[in-house]
Amino acid sequence: MTRHRLASALACLAIALPAAAASPSPADIIKQSKPADWRPLDPQNTVVMEVNGSPVVFELAPRFAPRHAANVRKLVQGGYFSGLAVIRVQDNFVAQWGDPNEESEDKSKLRPLGAAEAKLPAEFSIPYQGLPIARLSGADGYAPVTGFVDGLPVAADPKRNRAWIPHCYGVIGAGRGDTVDSSNGSSLYAIIGQSPRALDLNITVVGRVLKGMEALSSLPRGGGAMGFYDKPEQNVPLGKVRLLADIPPAERPAFEVMRTDTATWRALAEARRHASGDWYVHSAEHVNVCNVSVPTRPLAQPAS
């Protein structure tokens, strides 16, 4: 917890944690990974959203919410979000963006949805059976099974044959009203605090932020009920919100993401159970699905 934290080893700590010292650390596993352990951003499935000039890069989850993912894609490609705003930031909960006129009496002020659908079914879970999940061992409390699919955290209940994306930090969902089918992806939120898992299976999750969370998580909290900004001038305008495919290649974010369907990933997720590094004197020998991050790394620059 100081700058010294990563400094030189102390023999006594190595003795205190022999198991951790013997297994490869997450850093070692990442270092020893092969090119095939990584994947590029999917141009059709990645959104780049400018918040205060900083790019928030997020990935959609078509396997878990195909209708919503397709609708968000249409909204983004139609320019729906560009120039809209973050309208709500509730501490230790969510940052939410969409049309500031959503609650206006005068519906003519609303930005039109274009080619996107106004009404979609709820997509709260998918079947567990057949899901290629990289399971995480250990107790979760909220779900009997947790793990990763498509780079996303996943929780599942095999007995009820359902799986869903848990509300971990950085997960993005589609705001809804009182009816389960009242979301269409035109208002989205990202989790900015302790995972509010009570939301799981109550709302449609559409994806996850890959990079740039701090542009959302460090925004001023709203003073209104549920963290909505009190006054229109507090809303934080969004700049361009574009599908990666629609961004000129030279302007695209230049990073790749670790795959979660490989032996390397399984070793990495398992390694996160152990404390690693000389600073630690105790190892929890456990990790929650919401505490396992999927690594990204800059793309190697082509030789010029």
Q: Residues in the site for its own copies, rule: CB under 8 A?
A: 1-8, 10, 13, 89, 91-92, 94, 96, 102-103, 124, 138-142, 168-170, 173-180, 183, 187, 189, 192-198, 200-203, 213-214, 217-221, 225-226, 228, 275, 278-282, 284, 286-288, 290-291
Measured between alpha carbons, how far apart are the two ends of the chain, in Å? 40
Q: For 206, list phi and psi in degrees, rounded to 5.
A: -115, -10
Least Å from the CB of residue 183 to its own copies: 8
Least Å from the CB of residue 219 to its own copies: 6
CA-based nearest residue to 247, from 44, 59, 39: 44
Nearer Cβ to its own copies, position 133 or 213? Answer: 213
Least Å from the CB of residue 138 to its own copies: 5
Nearer Cβ to its own copies, position 62 or 98? Answer: 98
Nearer Cβ to its own copies, position 32 or 194? Answer: 194
How many other CB atoms are found less than 10 A from the CB of residue 56? 25
Nearer Cβ to its own copies, position 236 or 245? Answer: 236
Q: HSE on the CB side for 196, CA within 13 Å?
A: 19
Least Å from the CB of residue 273 to its own copies: 9
Give the ranges where the chain is alpha helix by DSSP (H).
11-16, 18-22, 26-31, 66-77, 214-217, 263-271
Nearer Cβ to its own copies, position 116 or 171? Answer: 171
What is the spatial distance between Cα 262 and Cα 285, in angstroms, rounded to a whole number? 22
Nearer Cβ to its own copies, position 220 or 232? Answer: 220
Read off the tokens for 152: 């996303």
Nearer Cβ to its own copies, position 178 or 303? Answer: 178
Give yes or no for a contact between 75 and 186, defined as CB atoms under 8 angstroms apart.
yes
Least Å from the CB of residue 261 to its own copies: 24
Q: For 96, list phi and psi in degrees, rounded to 5.
A: -125, 140
Nearer Cβ to its own copies, position 19 or 132? Answer: 19
Give yes or no for a contact between 221 and 34, defined as CB atoms under 8 angstroms apart.
no
Least Å from the CB of residue 213 to its own copies: 6
Least Å from the CB of residue 274 to its own copies: 9
Please report, for residues 118, 259, 270, the alpha-carbon distance to residue 228 in angstroms, rounded to integers and kept in the order given. 23, 36, 39
Give yes or no for a contact between 82 and 111, defined as CB atoms under 8 angstroms apart.
no
DSSP 147-200: EEETTEEEEEEGGGTEEE----TTEEEE---SSTT---SSSEEEE-SS--GGGT
Least Å from the CB of residue 302 to its own copies: 26
